[in-house]
């Protein structure tokens, strides 16, 4: 099976959680919008799929995964679908619901990370909501990040030797957790530096994922887009604490 991923070609964003799973599994996939227009790529290719009026199962937003004739959207839903196919989730059903539960909680944190710089309207510029963003980002780093990361740290600690979020091997949840830690460190270096000692297991998990051979190769490649200020995790010095 060759998968097709449809996502914005210039940001990590939510698509990155899917990319990390496909990369770690060594899956064959095309990151369609990153192909040249000549090869049927570009943002246009993604927009065409989003707006196609003949689709029975239209997507509200990217990322969208095409697997044969099946189209699947919503990041956590894509990972629910890919998990068993890429051997990135345990086999038993209860563990799969647990993995999905953790992934949905990760996606909640991701949505809040986005709103930390866009608390009023995603459709308006950051500069139009900077004052509000300062207040929201302050609450996000002081209250929400510790609540989420404290929760994930506890969940990790309760899972056997505390080396994996779910089960006894690397799952898509570990890959997503890596991305969240990396993203928060990029966006809020001061806040994360101050509190990092409180999440030793998550920090170690981040490092182990980064060293997985296929992930390390991916991170060193041009396929890994850099963090930037168009994505979800953005670094604005005025939103990081103590600035």
The set of residues, in sequence order, having a beta carbon less than 8 Å from that of 211 and lying 6+ positions away, is none
Q: Is the dihedral of CA 37, 41, 45, 47 positive or negative?
A: negative
Residue 135 near a second copy by CB under 8 A? yes
The residues in 55-84 that bind a second copy, with binding defined as CB under 8 A, are: 55-60, 70, 72-74, 76-77, 80-81
Question: Which residue lies nearer to a second copy by CB, 139 or 211?
Answer: 139
Half-sphere exposure of 35 (CA within 13 A, CB side): 15
120 forms part of the interface with a second copy (CB under 8 A): yes
C-alpha span between 30 and 41 (Å, rounded):
10
Q: Following CA atoms 163, 168, 173, 178 in sequence, which dihedral angle do they give, to the nearest 10 degrees?
A: 30
Per CB under 8 A, the segment of 112-120, 170-178, 179-187, 234-242 that binds a second copy is: 112-120
**Beta carbons within 8 Å of 224's beta carbon, 6+ residues apart:** 218
Q: Which is nearer to a second copy, 57 or 91 (CB)?
A: 57
Which parts of this chain interact with a second copy (CB under 8 A)?
Answer: 55-60, 70, 72-74, 76-77, 80-81, 94, 97-98, 100-101, 104-105, 108, 111, 115, 119-121, 123-124, 129, 132, 135-136, 139, 143, 148, 151, 154-155, 158-159
């Amino acid at each position: 099976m060759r998968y097709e991923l449809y996502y914005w070609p210039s940001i990590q964003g939510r698509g990155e959680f899917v990319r990390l799973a496909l990369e770690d599994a060594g899956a064959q996939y095309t990151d369609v919008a990153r192909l040249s227009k000549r090869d049927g790529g570009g943002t246009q290719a993604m927009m065409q799929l989003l707006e196609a009026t003949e689709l029975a199962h239209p997507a509200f937003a990217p990322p969208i995964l095409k697997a044969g004739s099946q189209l699947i959207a919503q990041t956590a839903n894509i990972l629910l679908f890919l998990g068993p196919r890429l051997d990135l989730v345990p086999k038993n059903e209860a563990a799969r619901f647990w993995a999905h539960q953790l992934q949905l909680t990760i996606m909640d944190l991701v949505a809040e990370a986005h709103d930390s710089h866009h608390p009023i309207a995603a459709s308006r510029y950051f500069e139009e909501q900077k004052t509000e963003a300062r207040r929201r980002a302050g609450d996000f780093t002081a209250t929400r990040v510790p609540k989420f990361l404290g929760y994930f740290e506890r969940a990790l600690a309760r899972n056997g030797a505390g080396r994996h979020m779910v089960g006894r091997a690397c799952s898509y949840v570990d890959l997503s957790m890596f991305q969240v830690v990396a993203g928060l460190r990029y966006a809020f270096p001061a806040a994360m530096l101050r509190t990092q000692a409180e999440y030793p297991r998550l920090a170690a998990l981040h490092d182990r994922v980064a060293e997985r051979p296929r992930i390390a190769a991916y991170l060193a490649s041009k396929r890994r887009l850099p963090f930037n200020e168009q994505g979800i995790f953005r670094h604005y010095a005025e939103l990081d604490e103590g600035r």
